[in-house]
Structure 1
Amino acid sequence: MSVAIIIENVVKRYEKTTVIPNLSLQIKNGEFFTLLGPSGCGKTTLLRMIAGFNSIDGGCIKFDDKVINEIPAYKRNIGMVFQNYAIFPHLTVKENVEYGLKLRKVPKSESDRRVEEILKTVKMYDYKDRLPDKLSGGQQQRVALARAIVIRPNVLLMDEPLSNLDAKLRIEMRSVIRDIQKQIGITTVYVTHDQEEALAISDRIAVMKDGVVQQVGTPCQIYKRPTNIFVATFIGSSNLIKAKINIENGERYVVFNKDYRIKMNNLSSNVKDGQDVIVSIRPEELKIANKGLKVKILKGTFFGKFINYEFTLIDDNVFGENKVCEFVQDISDTNKFLRENDIIYLEPDLSRINVFNEDGSINLIEDVILYE
């Protein structure tokens, strides 16, 4: 039976280093929840704490209302899918999948029925008598998934399960994992550093940095309204441009230069006149116009349905060391294609851009959700 996972003020230390200082999360019963962040941010450490492989140095983890801190891993009734599959090379597909049922002393008739059922679910029944070395990487991952699910765990934990697969197979397998998880309805915690993967499969995402949760929300919420610049640049691509706030007659404006400013009705009431800000504009939030940001085209890359252009701002007011920005041109919407050194104007979509304070730690748009 699936459970909710409650993580309250959890701390993890390795010798004198605190990897997770004070982390709290609530993962709903039956949801697909992803821990996303760069290498070393603590996401795998947290997953291993839920599994019982790592000790907990502070706080508590609950399955529903039951504290599991002191419960050993083998008694937590979890299913685990690892990065390297961890299936037994000397056992057939069927024998690998039934292994956990044998350890639990499930009667053979029941075991056979459950193994057949899950192998059909993951579309591996026709391969049940093969050894792992006769399977592709994607097929081996399906076997690992079947073995984790067949024991009917309360929680399914997945640690970068697709990182060893090629790009095309990763896309195929993430759909398989998502479909099976929804079909079975099991609470799933998934670890990845691949933001595209997280956006594609998750009900909710927790973005982590240095052991701290930066934002929790649906893929759409996090992509559209990131809580800070780290999230804005880690999830997708963003152009970061320096600007100032101007308040006139109660109206709020973002001023890019002496020739261009935009009126914004969704800025926080806490912004101050003259305040320095950073504007985050995703490539698809820019369009060619007769006014706006004056830019110089560096190059265009053709991707079939669209062209991705790199450009620099004439005013050179880009935030950060990388001065190259991007915008996307849908080829179905235009007959004009840009060339290197073309000078054009780009106008942002006011309803979609984000505005951050000077150090990028706070989003100044009104409808940002820190924790959904």
Structure 2
Amino acid sequence: MELTTIWFILIAILWTGYFVLEGFDFGVGMLLPILGRGFSAQGERERRVLINTIGPVWDGNEVWVLTAGGATFAAFPEWYATLFSGFYLPLLLILVALIIRGVAFEYRGKRDDLRWRRRFDICIVVGSAVPALLWGVAFGNIFRGVRLGPGHEYAGSFGDLLNPYALLGGTTTLALFLLHGAIFLTLKTSGNVRDHARRVAGTVGPVAALIAVTFLLFTFDIRRTPASITLGLLAAASLLASLVLVRTGTARTKRDGWAFAGTAACLVLTVASLFSGLYPYVMPSTTADVFSLTVTNASSTPYTLKIMTWVAVVFTPVVVAYQGWTYWVFRKRISITHIPPASEPHPLNVGRLAVDGEAVR
């Protein structure tokens, strides 16, 4: 197998890991107002439970997209240049959303003030929903093909990226991540939060399945191979199995792990189906096939790929082992009983009342 093919597969694996791991914490972020009783004071402890389920891992999950971007830059520089120049605005929106989301995670607990936390909770919701939508739009355009001119330069506009198929792809990732996050919460929480998450998963699941199956059908109509069709059908079967487990599971049957494995397998197989259908292209051109980018004309030199391969062989197991250890350490369930109530007023502030954010006697 040639090194260009190996690195195409490795980049597909990196994106798969990102969608599976970051997918559920995007879902948890979007579920804050649903499982946290809006942004009310009564739901503060529920929202803190949700945030604590992903608190130790969300930043580690983002490493996968950084590694995927770096690997694309090093292994396929022509692909990287065309992608980041043509998709500049949506990728910028994703970056801004991720920054806002990260800041919100770090700062929402800095003050014991409901309005302060509500603002950052909104930032978490928006910062989770925007990438969940736009990553699907981006991959939909990559698979469908975009207008490339001579020199493999993007010749379209931002409006061209918002075509029906790409928007369907964005809706698919949004719905699947929402379902993935809800099922993750049934695995990581207990009590009322888990019961509520299970009901939400049962409601969102059929809608997500319908959208995902529709997306797969349109995908097969655009470009298909025997491998992509097989993987796509397996993805649909995994999703349906997960929905069955969610609807039939109870606190005693302990099917939460299998249900989560089902949505994870659905995402893995969906990404694998897209990449297998895309190969040997990395970015097809809708203007003329001669302008398309492939694993051959977009790759680095063989020497560069060889050096990168040795680096990946040495460091990838270390990174995966460390992240696996992190998940093992923080594997236990969380409930509102583990969340302390709001802190008591400071002795110096006794007798003072907060009105519209200002302290008065």
Q: TM-score, normalised by structure 2?
A: 0.23
Higher strand share: 1
Higher helix share: 2
Q: TM-score, normalised by structure 1?
A: 0.23
Per chain length, whose mean CA-contact separation is higher, i.e. which structure has more relative contact order (CA < 8 Å, sep 6+)?
Answer: 2
